[in-house]
Amino acid sequence: MYRHSLFFLFLLFSLAVSAQDAPPLSTTSDEVIVTGARYARTLAESPQHVTIIDSAAVARAPSLAQLLNEQAGIVVNGAYSNYGKDRSIFLRNGANQYTLILVDGQPLIDPSSLGGAVDLRLLSLEGVERIEILRGARSLLYGSDAVAGVINLVTSSGGQGSEYEKGNSPLPFRINLRAAAERYSTYTGTAAIAGSTEKLDYRLGYDYFTTDGISEAEPMDETTEDFNRDGSARRTVYGNLTWRPTESLTIRPALRRAIFTGDYDRGAFTDAENEYRNDLWLPSLAVNYRQATWELGGRYNYAATDRVFDDAAFGESIYKGRAQQGDVFYNYLPSEAFSLTVGGQVRHESLATEAETPTVTNISPYLQANLNVAERLLLEGGYRYNHHSVFGGQSNGSLAVGYRHTDRVSSRLSVGSAFQSPTLDQLYGPFGANAELQPQVSTSYEAGLRVQSRRGERRATVTVFQRQIDQVVTYDGTLGYQNQDELRDRGVEVEGFTDLSARFRLDGNFTYVKGQLRSPDGSGGTTESDEFYRRPRTTGLLGLTYRANQAFSARLTAAYTGERPDIYYDANFSPVTLDLDPYLIVNLYAEYKLLENRNLSLFAEIRNLTDTDFTEVSGYSTLGITPRLGVAWTY
C-alpha cells in the first residue's frame, strides 16, 4: 500500500513539472553559498551540487533532526522517536560518524562520543539562518569525518533586518521572541536581540526546550505494565559579533553553549530510571583580511563536550572530549575566472576518562584551484596531505567538472577521496582498543544533471553516485577494533520543484541507495551483505506549499521511509533480527502574519497527521499525532 502511495505521489510530481505561469524562484543560481570553498561564491560558480535549506524552512522546523530527515539522501534515525532518544545520521547509507557537522564552516568535533558522531540533541535551530548540505567526499577542505558529506549550519550575523525592514537602513537593535507548545507537555521558547551599526553586527539569543516525553522503550505487549515517561530538556545560549574595523578587515567571534539532559531506558522493550547529560562549549573566531585580488583568513574553534551517563545498574560514567582546530588560508582571486586557495589546518583532540587522557594531533596543508573557462566549463581540483600523530601520513584529492550546456541545462562530474581518523575511544578506550588502527579511506564518484525552465520556476536535479570505503573499522568481542571491512554504496537522488501557479509550489525528492559490505569470514575468504540495520534503500518526500500574498502560508508534506532490517537483543542477550515495515508520515504547517508590518506570526502544525503507527528502532516508542501551536514576534 505504501509503495503504491509513493509511486502515485511521485507520478503527480513528474506531471506537475509541466506547469506554467509561475513567478521567478526565490532560490536562483545567483544565490551565494559558503560551503565547498574558502570564500563565498554563487551556485553558478560551483561545479558541486549544494542543497540549501532556507530561513523559511528553518523557521518552520520543530527540530534539526526532523528538518534534515526531509532532505534527499539523508535519514535521521530517531527523528520521530522520544525527544530524548539519540539520533543517527545516515547520509547515502553511510554510518553516523561519516557525516561532518559544521557551524559557520568550522567543524563540531566530539571526541567524547563512540565513533566521533555529534549529538544532534545538543543543536537547536536558534540563530541558524540557513543550512547548506554538500554530499560526497569533502576531506580536502574539512579534514577527517567528511566521508559521506558535510552539513553546514550558517548562523545569522544579526545585520539583515526582518522582512519588512528590507530596503531601509540597518537597525541598531531588534528583538525576536518565539514560543511554542505541543503534545506530551512539550514547550519551546526563544529570545534574541540583534542589530547593526556601521561597523558592527551582533546577535545574542537564548533557547529553552523541555518535555515530559513518552517512554523511550516500548512495552513488549499489552500485558506489560506501563513504562515511565522519559523527559528531557535543552538550554542554549548563542551569540556572535561581526566587527569591521576597516573596509578590509572582518573579525567574527562566536559562542554557543548548550546543555542537554534526559532520561533513558535500559534497552529494547526494557524500562529503567537512567539519566544522561551532555554539556557543550563551542567558542570560535573567524578573521578575514581582503584586498582587491587576494584574501587572508584564519579560523579557530574549540569544542568541549562532557557526557555523563548515570545508569541505575552500572553507576556513573563520565567522558570529557576536547577538540581544537585552527585553519589559516590564502585566497588568490585575480578574476571571476580563476581562484587559488592555499591553506593549512591543525586539529588536536583529547578524551579524558577516569583512567587516562589520550591525545592525537593532525597537521594538514591543502591546495584548491577553481577555473571558469568561457563561462561554461567549471573546473575545480585540489590536494591535501595529512600527518597524524598515530598513523602517520595520508593524502586526499578531488576533481570536479561542471558544464553549462545552455542557460537551462547543466551537468557535473566529480571524484574525490576522504578519510576518517580512528577515534580516541578506538585507539585508547576501555573496550577493544587498538593503537595500530589505520584511517578509514573513501573514494567517491558522482555525476549529475540539472534542468530548469527559462524563468526558473521549475527545476529538477538528478545525481548518481558511488562511494567505496576501505579499511572500515569494526568491533569484535574477541579481537576488539580492527580495520577489516570494505563498504560500497551506489544510488540515485532526484530533487525538484515547480510552481503550479502564483500561489502553489510543489517540491519533492527521492533517493534509492544500495550498499554492499565485504567482511573476512575467518578462514581466508569473505562474506558479503547488502542489508544495513535501520537504513532504508528507498526514501522520498513530496511537499505542497501555499503562499497567499505576505500574510498566510501553509505547507503539507508526505515523507516515505522504506523497508529496512533491524536488530535487538532479548533478555538472554541473544540477537533478534527482523524487517521493519515502511511508513508514510504526513505533516501540516500553517502560518499567519499580523499587524501592519507583518511582524507578529501565529503558527500551527500537526506532525504525523494520520497518526501512523510505525517503528524507527525495534523496542523503542515513536511519537503519535503531535499538534503544535506557537507565536513569533519581532520588534
pLDDT in tens, 266-295: 999 999 999 999 999 999 999 999 999 999
DSSP calls for 463-500: EEEEEEEEEEEEEETTTEEEEEEEEEEEEEEEEEEEES
pLDDT surpassing 70 at residue 7: no
- Residue 586's beta-bridge partner residues? 558
d(CA 116, CA 259): 19
Q: Which residue has the higher pLDDT, 18 or 464?
A: 464
pLDDT surpassing 80 at residue 11: no
pLDDT of residue 306: 95
pLDDT of residue 478: 83
Residue 311: pLDDT band (50, 70, 90) is: very high
Q: Which residue has the higher pLDDT, 336 or 284?
A: 284
pLDDT surpassing 80 at residue 100: yes
Domain that holds residue 307: 2-634
Cell numbers for 163, please give them: 522582512
Residue 556: pLDDT band (50, 70, 90) is: very high
Q: Which residue has the higher pLDDT, 324 or 20?
A: 324
pLDDT of residue 29: 62
Question: For 54-148, where are the E strands, in sequence order?
Answer: 74-77, 88-91, 99-103, 106-107, 128-135
Going by C-alpha positions, the residue among 123, 417, 157 that lies closest to residue 288 is 157
> CATH no. for residue 18?
2.40.170.20
pLDDT in tens, 573-626: 899 999 999 999 999 999 999 987 888 999 999 999 999 999 999 999 999 999
pLDDT of residue 22: 32
pLDDT in tens, 226-270: 899 999 999 999 999 999 999 999 999 999 999 999 999 999 999
Domain count across the chain: 1
d(CA 560, CA 539): 5
pLDDT surpassing 80 at residue 164: no
CA dihedral 202→203→204→209, nearest 10 degrees, is: -170
pLDDT of residue 382: 98
